[in-house]
Amino acid sequence: MAALTPEGPVAPLTPPAVASGPVGGAGRPRRIRVWRGAILAIAAIYFLVPLIASFTFTVKAPEQDFSLDAYGQIFSAEGFGRSLLLSVGLGVATIAVVLLLTLPAMLAVRLSIPKLKPVLEILCTLPLVVPPITFVAGITTVLRLGPDYLASTPFYQTIFAIQDENFPIVLVLAYVILALPFVYRSLDAGLGAIDVRTLVEAARNLGASWPHLIFRVIVPNLRSSLASASFLTLALVLGEFTIASLLNFQTFPVWIYTISGSQAQVSVAVSVFSLLITWLLLLVLSSAGARQRSGS
């Protein structure tokens, strides 16, 4: 607007971006600044109050003084270590399986069968459409009916083996499916950013073996997208409640839910704690990503 006001020969000399800015004077910019400030303030209240209130809730019970006891009790609470270890273990296993499945397939599709790319993309996006609760409805039915159908085959035992309470492989299998869309997206972005074909041909011409090529050339170049895929998967597994609870496994979120009845403060403390951990992981990840970008 400011650029339009007839100011004679001066107007074209001022860059339009500046002209629409402070030069415009009192009217529009200030209104925008107020508007922006109001939005940011409301957002800050909405997003910060629950965090602060949760923290207050954990450190100050009614008629009691400030104390960090609830956080200390987390570690001594029955089942904390076991469920957290189980969730972390499931997370690591899920990351390993999902990367081992997707990376070779995506590399092969990119290098020599581009026709398959849409198929792979749709397959890896489909789990987004299927809500976890419906997925678990299917899984429980399979687990219930499976033994009847497989009674005479060697698979009969596997149905029970994957439901081992100490390390339920069935959860890893389910989580790999849930993680597929995120992993696919982040690896696809990573592979798109590097020239895979040239890297592969250069490495092969220089005599690199395939394992060498994968681990010394491809993986280092994909470091940040592999890291973000792993992080997202880990966050997903650490927070996943629906499938674990309906299949009756005591993972970390299920444990938080179980103790909430008897130890409300502790369960809120764990919630705050888990948010902090997620935050930390993401900060590490984003700063690592930034370093790599500035490095290359």
Partner 1 sequence: MTAPSAVRTASASGGGRTKSKSWLATVPLLAFVILIFGVPLVIILGGTFKREGAFSAANITESLQGAYLTALLGSVKLSALVAVVGALLGTFLAQAVVTSRFRLLREAVLTASGVLSNFGGIPLAFAWIATLGNSGVITKALGLDSAGWSLYNFWGLALVYLYFSIPLMVVVVVPALDGLRPQWREAAQNNGANTWQFWRHVGIPVLTPTLLGGVVLLFGGAFAAYATAAAMVGGTVPLVTLQIANALSGNVLIGHENVALALSLDMIIIAGLVMAVYLPLQRRSARWLR
| Binding flag, residue 194, partner 1 (CB under 8 A) | no
Q: What's the closest the beta carbon of residue 193 comes to partner 1, in angstroms?
A: 14
The answer to whether 23 contacts partner 1 (rule: CB under 8 A) is no
| Contacts to partner 1 from residues 34-93, by CB under 8 A | 35-36, 39-40, 43, 46-47, 49-51, 53-54, 56-58, 62
Phi, psi angle pair for 206, to nearest 5°? -85, 5
Window contacting partner 1 (CB under 8 A); options: 80-88, 151-159, 185-193, 208-216:
208-216
Among 86, 191, 237, 272, binds partner 1 (CB under 8 A): 272
By CB under 8 A, name the one of 199, 214, 227, 288 that touches partner 1.
Answer: 214
C-alpha distance from residue 27 to each of 21, 32, 34, 116 (Å): 11, 9, 11, 56
Residue 262 near partner 1 by CB under 8 A: no
The helix-helix angle for 80-111 and 196-205 (nearest 10°) equals 80
- Of 137, 66, 124, the C-alpha closest to 98 is 124
Q: Is the dihedral of CA 23, 28, 31, 37 positive or negative?
A: negative
Which of 23, 68, 85, 108 lies at the binding interface for partner 1 (CB under 8 A)? Answer: 108
Among the residues of the chain, which ranges form H helices?
Answer: 10-13, 16-19, 27-59, 69-76, 80-111, 117-129, 132-150, 156-161, 169-193, 196-205, 210-212, 219-221, 223-239, 242-246, 252-260, 264-295
Among 74, 77, 171, 176, binds partner 1 (CB under 8 A): 176
Q: Does 147 bind partner 1 (CB under 8 A)?
A: no
Q: Residues 220 to 239: which contact partner 1 by CB under 8 A?
A: 232, 235, 239
Is 111 a binding residue for partner 1 by CB under 8 A? The answer is: yes
